[in-house]
């Protein structure tokens, strides 16, 4: 399955400044994040220090990623999506290229 790094921004302008409404919105966000971890499609998730921007590492099929992006777009603005590969695959690829170049 394909891994993606998704960088996003919470749409702060969509959030209420009333503490009760803000708590409800953040509870919904964290509940969704926990669900994705439990499903195994979310490998990592975090916030940047400013509290508005963050990232997710998702492992899923491209069509499922698109559905997820459409679903979350009311709460977050997606800034960038990049397909990523892990260390072992990157190491194998780089070694193959360098071996080819040395011939």
**In CATH, what class is 2-102?**
alpha beta
Do 77 and 11 touch, CB atoms closer than 8 A? yes
86 touches 5 (CB < 8 A): no
pLDDT at 53: 95
Domain range annotation of the chain: 2-102
Whether the predicted pLDDT of 5 surpasses 90:
yes
Which residues in 31-95 belong to E strands, given as ranges? Answer: 42-47, 53-60, 76-84
Closest CA relative to residue 5, chosen from 60, 89, 82: 82
- The string of pLDDT tens digits covering residues 54-89 is 999 999 999 999 998 888 887 789 999 999 998 999
């Amino acid at each position: 399955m394909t891994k993606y790094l998704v960088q996003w921004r919470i749409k702060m302008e969509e959030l209420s400044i009333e503490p009760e409404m803000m708590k409800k919105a953040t509870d919904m966000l964290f509940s969704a994040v926990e669900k994705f971890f439990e499903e195994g499609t979310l490998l990592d998730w975090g916030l940047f220090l400013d509290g508005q921007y963050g990232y997710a590492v998702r492992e899923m099929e491209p069509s499922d990623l698109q559905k997820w992006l459409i679903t979350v777009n009311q709460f977050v603005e997606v800034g960038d999506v990049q397909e990523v590969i892990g260390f072992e695959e990157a190491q194998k690829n780089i070694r193959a290229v360098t071996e080819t170049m040395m011939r």
